[in-house]
Structure 1
């Protein structure tokens, strides 16, 4: 089993790059959905939801940047163009006809749950392939996504 300069097998490196790009694509789609909600939300709790969505998106963006940079560390190419996101995201398209905050929050929460599940699967895949550092990156992203989902779902109680 050949090991590259980063101490990873070729399989571990390729698995990590594939998982990172897949989660990057879905994360970018989620980010665009969050901004769609942020721009169009209305209701009595408008400012709280509007600002929370910005915070959730900022948290997500930080992890997406780390994922794209990790692809580079592993000698891959980060794939995050609008065309690739539209073609490759596993998240369902975000509806553009919503205005009520509860409707936006429900839609964002559904995508956040799916994103979280995908992150947890990526943790397992990269760990099993032998890249603990990428698994750790996904663990941090998953932890943040779970907390942000909790904040969002709290608005639906």
Structure 2
């Protein structure tokens, strides 16, 4: 039985489900890219970068669950299989030949910037459609992504 959320139009619900699933695919893809970097990073400040990447992954995972659960609240289907994420993510594929910490940080920073931009567009779309709660969830994710981007790029100074 579906949860009936009063005050949301069918358009608001459909828009939110679509935006959430898009950002879910990007978040999962980004989390996997962070793990790729975590497993393969080498170089100066290894332990600091290695531990930073653990934190970034945990931050993404928290938002992944929140987004997927919101899709369920809206009576949608959260899409997160590896095959669908690979097909649906709008983020560039992460290179698998990187080992230097600075190369990983640059590659991740590029994807974090892209992800942040897409989150902000999704915030606007869901807010304009009339789902302030989903916009709030996406805003929280956006704040975290912006902060984590700052942490990453601070290693390049």
**Equivalent residue runs for 1:137-156 within 5 Å:** 137-156=137-156
- Give the equivalent residue in structure 2 for 1:57: 57
Please list the CA deviations of residues 3-25 of structure 1 after superposition, one character each: whole Å capped at 9, or x if unmatched.
x6432000000000000000000
**Equivalent residue runs for 1:8-87 within 5 Å:** 8-87=8-87
Secondary structure of the structure 2 residue equivalent to 1:51? helix
Secondary structure of the structure 2 residue equivalent to 1:42? coil
Q: Aligned equivalents of 2:136 and 2:44: distance in 1?
A: 39
Q: Aligned equivalents of 1:32 and 1:120: distance in 2?
A: 21
Q: Aligned equivalents of 2:10 and 2:81: distance in 1?
A: 26
Matched pairs, number: 154
Q: Aligned equivalents of 1:87 and 1:155: distance in 2?
A: 31
Q: Aligned equivalents of 1:42 and 1:145: distance in 2?
A: 24
Calculate the aligned-residue CA RMSD, in Å: 0.8
**Consecutive unaligned residues in structure 1, runs of 5 or more:** none
CA contact (8 A) 2:25 2:85 kept: yes
Please list the CA deviations of residues 35-87 of structure 1 after superposition, one character each: whole Å capped at 9, or x if unmatched.
00000000021000000001011011100100000000000000000010111
Q: Aligned equivalents of 2:6 and 2:150: distance in 1?
A: 36
Q: Aligned equivalents of 2:69 and 2:10: distance in 1?
A: 18
**Consecutive unaligned residues in structure 2, runs of 5 or more:** none
Please list the CA deviations of residues 77-104 of structure 1 after superposition, one character each: whole Å capped at 9, or x if unmatched.
0000001011111111110111000000
